[in-house]
Structures are given as C-alpha cells and as structure tokens.
Amino acid sequence: MDEDISIINSNTRNEKIKNFFLTNKKKLLAFLVIVVILLISFFGYGEFKDYQRQKVSNLFYSTIINYEENKKEITIKKLIEVVELKDPTYSPLSLYFILDNDLISSADQINDLFNILIEKTSLEKEIKNLIIYKKGLYNADQISENELLEILNPIIKSESVWSSHALYLLAEYFYSKNQKQKSKEFFNQIINLKKSNPDLVTEARKRLNRDLSD
C-alpha cells in the first residue's frame, strides 16, 4: 500500500513538472536566450574594452616614439586625440608629454585638456589630485590668487598626499607677490599638516626661518 502511494506521488510530481515546462515553455526559452545574450555581451564588452585600450596604447607610443621637431603638428594632433579618448593611463601621459615638450603655447587649449582629464576621465582619486596640482602649477604665473585657490581648493580641503604640494605652491605664489603674511600662513599649514611631504616640511621651515621670521 505504501509503495503504491509512493508511486502515485512520484507520478503526480513528474506530471506537475512536465506540465510546468509545457505551460511555461516560451517563458523559459526567452529566459535562456536572455541569459546567453547577457553572457555574450559581458565577455564581448570586456574584449572590446581590451581592444580599445590596446589601440590607445599603440597610438600613444607610436606618436612619442616617432616625435620629431619637424612633425610637431602631427604629434600634437595625435596626443590631443589620446587625451580626448579619456583613457585613465594614456590620456594623462599624453598631456604630460605635451607639457614637458612645450608643444602647445595656448594656455586656453592646455586648460581645456586639463579639464577633460579632471572632469570627464575616470581616474583614481590621487591621480586626479596630481593633475589638479599640475594644472595649478601650470597656471600659477598667469592667473589671480582667487583663480589659483579655486583650482587647488579640492586638494587643500581633502586629505590628499598632494595637499602639502598645493599649500607649498600657494605659499610660494604669495611670497612672489610680496604678500608675506599669506605666504607665512601657508608655510605654517604645511608644517602642521599630518600628511605633509617631509621634504616640503623641511623647505617650509627653512623659508620661515630665513625669509619670514618676525
């Protein structure tokens, strides 16, 4: 008797499973198709990103390797293209190459490239802070104190490793403008900042003792 009941239950269960698959055949098939498409898309996108990154890498290295003074315009065009591709590695390197070799004289054009990196490129936090600092350094001789502060404030107000560099730049900026009290304040901030670069702390103390002592 128990065996007969067990067989009936088993048959009933199998029938229910069969009916479920028959009833939901289209839904299950659609679900399987979606899963397959998602898997293909995921791995395909990864391969596409790798391919794109390799293209950017090749473009950057071929450009700097083939750089010659008589090919400056071609070099500039290609390096700007790399910056505009917003690659987290090669876009900053392209701008650094432009700056190091003084390829572009227009400050507006350089600042546009800085802004692409700072505002539109997905970068690690400290890489972005370094680029902000470099933007401040690039502009320090040609902008007002308010403009320089506006550029550097995101670093100064953070706990970035570049905070003391930004403070040192501001301290030297105000010293060059003969605003010694402001300069002194920024040098003191470097000394009091917990994460200050040790070399900058030493330089700040030297400057305070030598040029800004009361």
**pLDDT, tens digit, 9 for 90 and up, residues 58-80:** 999 999 998 888 889 999 999 99
Q: Please give the CATH architecture assigned to the domain spanning 132-214.
A: Alpha Horseshoe (1.25)
What proportion of the chain, given as a percentage, has pLDDT over 90? 67
Q: Per-residue b/e over 61-76, b at no fewer than 16 CB within 10 Å? A: eebbeebeeeeeeebb
Give the whole-angstrom CA distance, residue 184 versus residue 148: 17
Q: Is the pLDDT of residue 4 over 50?
A: no
**pLDDT, tens digit, 9 for 90 and up, residues 83-95:** 999 999 999 999 9
Q: Where along the chain do its domains lie?
A: 71-123, 132-214
> Model pTM?
0.76
Enter the DSSP assignment of 70. Answer: G
CB contact at 8 A, 60 and 93:
yes
Residues 185, 186, 190: CA angle, nearest 5 degrees: 120
